[in-house]
Amino acid sequence: MILQLHKSISTQEAANLAVELRAFHITTNDNHILITSSGMKEVPVELENKIEQYWVFNSDMQLSAKSFLPQKRQICIGDKIIGGNSMHTLLIGGPCSVESEEQIRQSAALITSLGLTTLRGGCYKPRTSPYSFQGLGYDGLMLLVKMKEEYGLTIITEAKDATHIEEIIEHSDIIQIGAKAMYDQGILHACSRTTKPVLIKRGFGSTLQEFVQAAEFVLSGGNENVILCERGIRTFETGTRFTLDLCGVAWLQHHTNLPLILDPSHALGKTYGIPSLARACTAMGVDGLLIETHPNPKVANSDASQQLTHEEFTQMYHSLKPVAEAVGYKII
């Protein structure tokens, strides 16, 4: 249940009530909000004259639910806006991993040359094998920061566990929580205490309900800037790396107030269908796309088979513009 307290209730009193109810206490638009589990269906009698309004739910999808906040949340990324009424599709490009200054500089130059703003590169890679490239870690993060400063781009990089989350929060404009880290309580709690935008990727074995509950961890700690990312789930199909759940996308768009970014690169796992999938995703009216591109995919240290060349990325970008326009969106 979500309870919005009367304006007359002081911060201290709200905090005390939260302790009594074992509820989360956040402030939005100067309103004190208490959030309990969805198991609570009735306002406790002692609170009756302290409540402005309240919402009852049938699952722990609460702050993220349209029934609580009908309009899509608006999120600022640098000087760009997604969500709200912006009708923007943020095209995020860059390599799977930051590999060297030379490589990430070429990616930064590509993004800039297309008039785009957001560069992505992984530094702490959650690999399936311990023998694969694990990323450059902090040195990679510093290379991204260098590109941010030199090219005036915003940057996004992923956290794979809580040991390096603070440095990512400090330096990255968007904090990406990887699919394998979706349940990581250390990461979720750290992300709930910042106001930086957090992009949560759906675990490939997670239901939509579990996915939005991961978002609730961040929202209930007071960070309102949460973006969901569908990147494919595991099904019986082995012909593609994962299955991009577009029905799930429709469900999330219908039920939640969170901006949504789609990642066809990790879903398909091969370059050949990425441009057409990206167009299909764009046609759904989404808030962003995350597409992997590498100056020389053949020698990429991770996800080599799915990264577009810069030429392919450029062509895809131009082909997305009319599709976005047709559904009232603009690629930024």
Where on the chain is the footprint of Mn ion (CB under 5 A)?
96, 303
Beta partners for 133?
Answer: none
**Is residue 158 near ligand PEP by the rule CB under 6 A?**
yes
**Is residue 241 near ligand PEP by the rule CB under 6 A?**
no
**Residue type at position 310:** H
Nearest-approach distance from CB 263 to Mn ion, in angstroms: 9
Binding characters for ligand PEP, 112-131, by CB under 6 A (x = yes): ----------x---x-----
Task: Give how many residues touch ligand PEP by CB under 6 A.
Answer: 10
Nearest-approach distance from CB 298 to ligand PEP, in angstroms: 18
Whole-angstrom Cα distance, residue 293 to residue 184? Answer: 27
Nearest-approach distance from CB 203 to ligand PEP, in angstroms: 9
**DSSP characters over 28-71:** ETTEEEEE--TT--S--GGGGGGEEEEE--SSS--TTBTTT--S
Whole-angstrom Cα distance, residue 50 to residue 5? Answer: 6
Nearest-approach distance from CB 133 to ligand PEP, in angstroms: 12
**Is residue 83 near ligand PEP by the rule CB under 6 A?**
no
User: Measured between alpha carbons, how far is residue 84 from residues 40, 61, 115 in Å?
Assistant: 30, 20, 22
**Is residue 178 near ligand PEP by the rule CB under 6 A?**
yes
Q: At 152, give phi and psi (nearest 5°).
A: 65, 30
Helices (H), 195-272: 208-220, 246-255, 264-268
- CB closer to ligand PEP, 177 vs 332: 177
Question: Are 210 and 248 spatial neighbours (Cβ–Cβ below 8 Å)?
Answer: no
- CB closer to ligand PEP, 25 vs 120: 120
**Is residue 310 near ligand PEP by the rule CB under 6 A?**
no
Nearest-approach distance from CB 331 to Mn ion, in angstroms: 21
**Is residue 294 near ligand PEP by the rule CB under 6 A?**
no
First-residue to last-residue Cα distance in the chain:
37
Question: Are 297 and 308 spatial neighbours (Cβ–Cβ below 8 Å)?
Answer: yes
- CB closer to Mn ion, 73 vs 231: 231
Nearest-approach distance from CB 257 to ligand PEP, in angstroms: 23
Interacting residue ranges for ligand PEP, rule: CB under 6 A: 96, 122, 126, 158, 178-180, 201, 231, 266
